[in-house]
């Protein structure tokens, strides 16, 4: 049995796999962090500037919405390439784990912003009205009522974004990013090492499953409806 395993997975270097997994974790974790930090306020602004909302601003909404749509409509593989000069300017390299993070954030933040906007729109207008009737400022409406009420939806949005970032991170292997995707492309694809391919794909599947389960649990925990 052991011999069989040895034979089947002859090309698999487990230390390499371990490092690649860690790199994927770092890329997804860091880009998720920045996507949320940028996407959350962006989503809140999109919501507030929208039609018949608290800070209705048709021009500002149109501009923000356009930028978000542009970033979302560029296929990520293209975004990776287009971003290279900017990434180099920002952190000095477009390679490796660090080099993959700026394009990941550029892809993840607008995606998450839209999800935030949608989940804020799901909040009952009556709750906003009631909070305003109590004499709340716009800031208090956002932090006291809107965000807590939309929290389950926002957490679900973070889960979806994280999973999207896992697949984006794998793609970044094409332009020299690190992680499991890089491994799959260099060994699994270019050197025809099918066993490496299978293991990396399996690890990605497990990773996505874990993210979804954790996300679902959190959503359930914060849902009071």
Residues that bind another protein (CB under 8 A): 124, 126-127, 129-137, 140, 144-145, 148-149, 151, 222, 224-225
CA–CA separation, 115 vs 43, rounded Å? 7
The residue (of 4 and 133) whose beta carbon lies closer to another protein is 133
Task: Give the nearer residue to another protein in terms of CB position, either 132 or 212.
Answer: 132
Smallest distance from another protein to CB 117, Å: 19
Residue number with CB closer to another protein (86 or 221): 221
Q: Residue 20 CB, nearest distance to another protein (Å)?
A: 40
Cβ closest to another protein, residue 189 vs residue 222 = 222
Q: How far is the CB of 47 from another protein (least distance, A)?
A: 17
Q: Are 27 and 104 in contact (CB under 8 A)?
A: yes
CA-to-CA separations, 26 to 31, 32, 100, 112, in angstroms, rounded: 8, 10, 10, 19
Q: How far is the CB of 131 from another protein (least distance, A)?
A: 7
**Rounded distance, CA 103 to CA 31, Å?**
9
Q: What share of the chain is helix, strand, coil (3-state, %, to 5)?
A: 85, 0, 15
d(CA 69, CA 113): 11
Alpha helices for 138-193 (secondary structure H): 138-140, 147-171, 179-183
Name the minimum Å distance from CB 129 to another protein: 6
């Amino acid at each position: 049995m052991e011999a069989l395993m040895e034979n089947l997975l002859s090309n698999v270097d487990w230390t390499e796999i371990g490092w690649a997994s860690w790199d994927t974790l770092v890329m997804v974790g860091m880009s998720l962090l920045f996507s949320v930090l940028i996407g959350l306020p962006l989503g809140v602004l999109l919501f507030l500037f929208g039609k018949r909302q608290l800070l209705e601003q048709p021009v500002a909404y149109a501009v923000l919405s356009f930028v978000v749509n542009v970033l979302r409509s560029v296929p990520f593989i293209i975004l990776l390439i287009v971003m290279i000069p900017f990434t180099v300017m920002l952190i000095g390299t477009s390679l490796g784990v660090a080099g993959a993070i700026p394009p990941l954030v550029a892809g993840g933040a607008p995606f998450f912003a839209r999800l935030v906007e949608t989940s804020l729109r799901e909040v009952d207008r009556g709750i906003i009205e009631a909070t305003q009737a109590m004499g709340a400022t716009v800031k208090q409406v956002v932090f006291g009522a809107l965000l807590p009420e939309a929290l389950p939806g926002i957490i679900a949005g973070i889960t979806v974004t994280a999973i999207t970032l896992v697949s984006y991170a794998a793609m970044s292997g094409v332009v020299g990013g690190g992680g499991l995707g890089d491994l799959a492309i260099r060994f699994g694809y270019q050197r025809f090492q099918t066993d490496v391919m299978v293991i990396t794909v399996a690890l990605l599947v497990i990773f996505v499953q874990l993210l979804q389960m954790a996300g679902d649990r959190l959503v359930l925990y914060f849902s009071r409806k």
